[in-house]
Amino acid sequence: MSGIDGLPPLREVIATHQLSAKKSLGQNFLLDLNLTAKIARAAGDLTGMDVLEVGPGPGGLTRGLLAEGARRVLAVEKDARCLPALDEIARHYEGRLEVINGDALQVDPLEKLTPPIAICANLPYNVGTELLVRWLTPTDWPPFWSTLTLMFQREVAERIVAQPGSKAYGRLALLAQWRCEARIVISLPPSAFTPPPKVSSAVVHLKALPEPRYPADAKTLERVVATAFNQRRKMLRAALKGLAPDIEEKLLAAGIEPTERAEQVSLEQFCALARILKG
Ligand code: SAM
């Protein structure tokens, strides 16, 4: 029995249910329940919150979230082999865990959850960035969630919190920092996972701001940023020339030197340019 909840240790759960890790599903499991409880705590106070978890696998983080007091957890898992293990957790925490066997990209969590909602996950690497971008780019703000606490490959985590002038700075940093506070809260070596991945990982905590830091139309800002960083080594007047015939004037009006490169431009300047382009 394990200390946090009296359920069997995760190694035993994996052996009982024969959950050999599948690479195609990005399966690198966390088997240390002290660590999964720590990740759950990094999500903040979960009392009175519904939690969306993507990819619970054998349920280590799910157990952390429930033990840390989440009101309800909705866990979306693609691999049906994990369902019996998750069912044992659901029975232990009666009425607090619902599991959907499906693809997180296809599920609408709002059909099942009530705000305030936290999202917390050790994400499968193959769909992690796509889910993050989706959660960061709704047209209306604030979004349905209050916080995201997500495990990524270290390199992706660094792109989310990157500052101008750094190599990691780009679309992810701008989308994340425009409407959220973003920071790396836990760093993990490959050995924290079973099986160990090739690279290190990090947990990023994003808190939705009540309003964006600077006004801008979301779709225009996304287009400007995507276009600018698509050709990040070009001068902006060349990289963005398809966006407006008089792009040089518009860049100057936004306080941006047309000969600069995208990685030198601040979030505030990108927002100013998006407002000017929107008209
Ligand atoms: N949360 C568990 C842990 O921390 O040990 C497992 C994390 S593992 C990195 C990713 C999990 O996501 C796997 O259980 C995998 O089957 C699941 N998964 C992969 N693609 C998925 C998808 N599109 N929708 C839902 N779950 C997915």
**Is there a binding annotation on residue 103?**
yes
User: Residue 85 has which token pair?
Assistant: 């293990």
Distance 124 CA to ligand 1 centre (A): 5
Q: Whose CA is nearest to atom 8 of ligand 1?
A: 27
**Is there a binding annotation on residue 126?**
no
- Residues of the chain short of pLDDT 70, as ranges, are 1-2
Beta strands 201-208 and 147-153 are antiparallel
Q: Whose CA is nearest to atom 5 of ligand 1?
A: 29
**Is there a binding annotation on residue 30?**
yes
Distance 128 CA to ligand 1 centre (A): 10
What per-residue confidence (pLDDT) applies to 126? 87
What per-residue confidence (pLDDT) applies to 2? 66
What per-residue confidence (pLDDT) applies to 225? 97
The CB of 128 under 6 Å from ligand 1? The reply is no
Distance 78 CA to ligand 1 centre (A): 7
Handedness of CA 175, 126, 190, 101 (dihedral sign): positive
What per-residue confidence (pLDDT) applies to 1? 63
Using CA atoms, how far apart are residues 146 and 116, in angstroms rounded to an integer?
A: 7
Q: Is 76 exposed, middle or buried (CB count within 10 Å of its CB: 0-12, 13-18, 19+)?
A: buried
Residues 6+ apart with CB under 8 A from 41: 68
Buried b (16+ CB within 10 A) or exposed e, 28-42: bbbbebebbbebbbb
The CB of 109 under 6 Å from ligand 1? The reply is no
- Looking from the CA of 242 toward its CB, the CA atoms found within 13 Å total 8
Residues 191/193/195/197 CA torsion (nearest 10 deg): -70
Residues 137-158: pLDDT tens digits? Answer: 998 999 999 999 999 999 999 9
What per-residue confidence (pLDDT) applies to 162? 98
What per-residue confidence (pLDDT) applies to 73? 98
What pTM was computed for the model? 0.96
